[in-house]
Amino acid sequence: MRVFKFGGASVKDADGIKNVYDVLQKVGYEDVILVVSAMGKTTNALEVVIKNYFDKSAELNSSVQEIKKYHNQILLDLFEDEKHEVFTAVKAQFSELEYFLAHNKSPNYNFVYDQVVSFGELISTTILSHYMNYRGIQTQWLDVRNFIKTNANYRDAEVDWETTQQLISKNVKRKILNITQGFLGADENNFTTTLGREGSDYTAGIFAYCLNAESVTIWKDVPGVMNADPRYFENASLLNQISYREAIELAFYGATVIHPKTLQPLQKKEIPLYVKSFINPLLKGTCVSKGVDLEPQYPCFIVKREQLLISLSSIDFSFIMEENISEIFGLFHEFKIKVNLIQNSAISFSVCVEDKFGNFNELNAILSKKFKVDYNENVTLYTIRHFTENAAETVEANKEVLLKQVSRETMQIVTKEIN
């Protein structure tokens, strides 16, 4: 069995859905599981719905209607007959969303987030499944929440591998095109959970692991894994083959082509991962597989924007020791702030972090009671794997370097734009 993952950009409109059909015609679809994300920017739009819900905004209804309108236009572009059953199916899903918004009693933001954003994937896969059937490809639509079981850590749930393995291996049919949702799971009470933003790749890895799949293919709008993001670097080059180790390193440092958690289950069973173009599906793309000789022969650049550089120093000039660092990291964990770089000296401790949940102000109030806290907002973290001096000079040009750290294979540079 092969596992294919299509992200939001590949199914953002009717032409995208039609292109998925064309891709499957070219590469085959029997004995395939299709893991699909929400359409286009639907997750972002649902996040606006959540904000309006908690703010008790008068805009709540209109924000839902905008999402309805967007999906309805895709339906009208795909299906000639408005009496097709897909219209009823999608309408029912929106009714379920509106019912939740009207009757939910939980004040837990993360819980509400997972219940609401999940409709993006549920609706996109419903439309895609009906369209494939409409075009003559028989599909089985799977509600992934019946297969991937997790704990109740909403927005970043951890997989119950034993239960998930049993459910997937026993209930997924072969010799057919299966279509399911990325990003989602369910806890023991059958409430929806999510696996972290951009977690659809991870979903593909979970299914592949549980089914001993032949391969996983992530279909992107790029030719494969590049040594740099072409939006930020000229002359970016395709990496034809890389090892699991190198791909995990790149993902850990923030390369967005592959979700960091995706490779771990694949590596355990040596299942190859392909990153290919849904625009040119017959091109080879990038293969991620076992092998120590598959390291890139030139520098790889990773960019993480909108970072916070925090410097903590002791108020009384005492050393910052292990117990201080342990306490600091405990607070980072509590406030869900991701640490991307660490540097410390005798009386100071600097970290470059990502505050994706907007908790830094609250954390800062606590840290300031024990430490002198200095910070720079909106800095950029560059990571260069297999760095050279020329590569470093390229990154540092016309920028203020706030921090630099070098190891054997990796250089990290925190910069701020010079106004």
Find out whether 254 and 356 touch, Cβ atoms under 8 Å: no
- pLDDT tens-digit series, residues 178-216: 999 999 999 999 999 999 877 899 999 999 999 999 999
What's the average model confidence in pLDDT over 269-293? 92
Question: Averaged over 250-257, what is the pLDDT?
Answer: 80
In the chain the first and final C-alpha atoms are separated, in Å, by 53
CB 39, CB 71: distance < 8 Å:
yes
Q: In angstroms, rounded to a whole number, what is the distance separating the alpha carbons of residues 287 and 289?
A: 6
Binding site annotation covers 121? Answer: yes
Please report the sign of the dihedral spanned by the C-alpha atoms of residue 145, residue 107, residue 50, residue 47. negative
Can you read off the two tokens belonging to residue 411?
């250089």
248 pLDDT band (50/70/90 cuts)? confident
**Residue 319 neighbours by CB distance under 10 Å:** 10
Q: Residue 34: which of 278, 317, 385, 377 has the closest Cα? A: 278
Which long-range contacts (C-beta less than 8 Å, at least 24 apart) are formed by 247-250? Answer: 247/273, 247/288, 249/385, 249/410, 250/225, 250/300, 250/302, 250/385
> Has 158 been labeled as part of a binding site?
no
Question: Confidence class of residue 52 from pLDDT cuts 50, 70 and 90?
Answer: very high
In the block, which residue shows the tokens 């592949």?
208
The secondary element (H helix, E strand) that includes residue 211 is: helix 200-211
- For residue range 139-161, what is the model confidence (pLDDT) as tens digits? 999 999 999 999 999 999 999 99
Average pLDDT score over residue span 15-24: 98
Assess whether pLDDT exceeds 90 at residue 253. Answer: no
- Tokens representing 128? 């895609």
- Is residue 196 part of an annotated ligand binding site? no
CATH number 3.40.1160.10 given to 2-213:
yes
Return the CATH number of the domain spanning residue range 300-417.
Answer: 3.30.2130.10
Cβ-Cβ contacts under 8 Å for 113 (sequence gap 6 or more): 47, 50, 154, 155, 194
197 labeled binding residue: no
Q: Which residues contact 234 (CB under 8 A, 6 or more apart)?
A: none
Q: How confident is the model at residue 236, as a pLDDT?
A: 87
**Residue 293: predicted pLDDT:** 61
The predicted-structure confidence for 352-386, as pLDDT tens digits, reads as follows: 999 988 999 999 999 999 899 999 999 999 999 99
CA-to-CA separations, 255 to 4, 208, 354, in angstroms, rounded:
20, 22, 14
pLDDT in tens, 298-348: 899 999 999 999 999 888 777 777 888 899 999 999 999 999 999 988 778
Block residue for tokens 């837990």 = 108
Give me the mean pLDDT over the 243-249 stretch: 88
2 annotated to a ligand binding site: no
Q: Is 349 annotated as a binding residue?
A: no
Going from N- to C-terminal start, the domains of the chain cover 2-213, 300-417
Q: Which two tokens stand for residue 274?
A: 């392909």
Maximum separation of any 2 CA atoms in the chain, in Å = 75
Q: How many CB atoms lie within 10 A of CB 316?
A: 6
Q: How far apart are CA 227 and CA 247, in angstroms?
A: 11
Any known ligand binding at 399? no
| pTM for the predicted model, two decimal places | 0.85
